[in-house]
Structure 1
Amino acid sequence: MRRILAFLGVALALGLAQTLSPEALRGASPEEALLLAKRFREAGAQVISYVTPEAFFFEFPDGRKAQVALGDRFLVAVAPYRQRTHPCQVHYFSSCTAELREETFAVRVLEEGKEVLKAQVRTGKDGFFELWLPRNRRYTLEVRQGDWVAQGALTTFAQSPTCLTELRLSRR
């Protein structure tokens, strides 16, 4: 992680777009790949980045590509909404944008009625928050913000979406 943060510090100082390369991802963990994908977008870098159930993928301006395997966990990007959303299966960190940006939510993940995760999360500038979950499971996801609530199914199988945009918040 320190190596990635040091790279980002140097890259930002030199102009990130001019120093982008797949080498930045060599040996990176999935968490570091997530951080880089978000930083590339925030910096306006022309790097296409997305996540499938198997890996993060990066396509650099010069045509080179890199990927970072997710291993035994699954990453899903979640965008709760009130008024507008978009259909999505594969989350593109470089371009997906949602309605509720930089807002805080209470999140619960249940498996067969048993709570497996409870957290306060904040959506990023893109309107998404991310969850790391074990693979090959079926969950119920509950998202709350005050008296607004959304609930839906979430799966972490090989064909599951990595972008969840169908959680419409309604007043309870």
Structure 2
Amino acid sequence: MIKKNILLGLIIAFSSQSYAATINSETFKDLDYKSAVTTAHTLYKNNEGIMIKVLPNRIVATFSDGKSSSVAIPKDQFFLSIAPYINSSHPCTNHVLTGCTGEIKNQV
């Protein structure tokens, strides 16, 4: 079981690094808002310096070269993120999809 988990972790790490090499400010701006969120989840805790955050009306990506681009969230849509906490929480006006987590991880 441990070997399978290590292998899966390596596959995920490799695929996210490979994807990070292909995404940039030009390719990000061509995504629709749902694809932008999916992309952010693919790049969670990446080592490429890519940060993707959700604002009330846009999804903004900032890349290691300092360039950024954004994708609009349609006016009749919204983004809801749930990060469970036990001891403390914080106001989350801007949710960082590539790095934000709650206190309770991997529990059902």
TM superposition score normalised by structure 1: 0.47
1:63 paired with 2:63, answer no
1:21 equivalent in structure 2 = 24
One-letter amino acid of the counterpart of residue 81, structure 1:
Y
CA drift of 1:20 comes to 3.4
Determine which structure has the larger strand proportion and give its number. 1
**Structure 1 pair 86–34 and aligned structure 2 pair: CA distance change class (3 A):** same
Contiguous gaps of at least 5 residues in structure 1: 1-10, 105-172
**SS of match in other structure, 1:58:** strand
**Structure 1 pair 84–57 and aligned structure 2 pair: CA distance change class (3 A):** same
One-letter amino acid of the counterpart of residue 73, structure 2:
L
Name the count of aligned residue pairs.
94
2:93 equivalent in structure 1 = 89
CA drift of 1:14 comes to 7.0
One-letter amino acid of the counterpart of residue 27, structure 2:
A
Cα distance per residue 1:75-126 (max 9 Å; x no partner): 021212222333332111123221111334xxxxxxxxxxxxxxxxxxxxxx
1:51 paired with 2:54, answer yes
CA drift of 1:42 comes to 4.4
| Matching residue within 18, 32, 36 for 2:35 | 32
8 Å CA contact retained: 1:50, 1:58:
yes
Determine which structure has the larger helix proportion and give its number. 2
**Structure 1 pair 102–14 and aligned structure 2 pair: CA distance change class (3 A):** closer
Greater Rg over alpha carbons, structure: 1
Contiguous gaps of at least 5 residues in structure 2: 1-13
Cα distance in 2 between the residues matched to 1:31 and 1:73: 11
Cα distance in 2 between the residues matched to 1:82 and 1:14: 32
One-letter amino acid of the counterpart of residue 56, structure 1:
I
Cα distance in 1 between the residues matched to 2:22 and 2:15: 9
Counting aligned pairs with the same residue, the percent is 26
RCO (CA 8 Å, sep 6+): is it higher in 1 or 2? 2
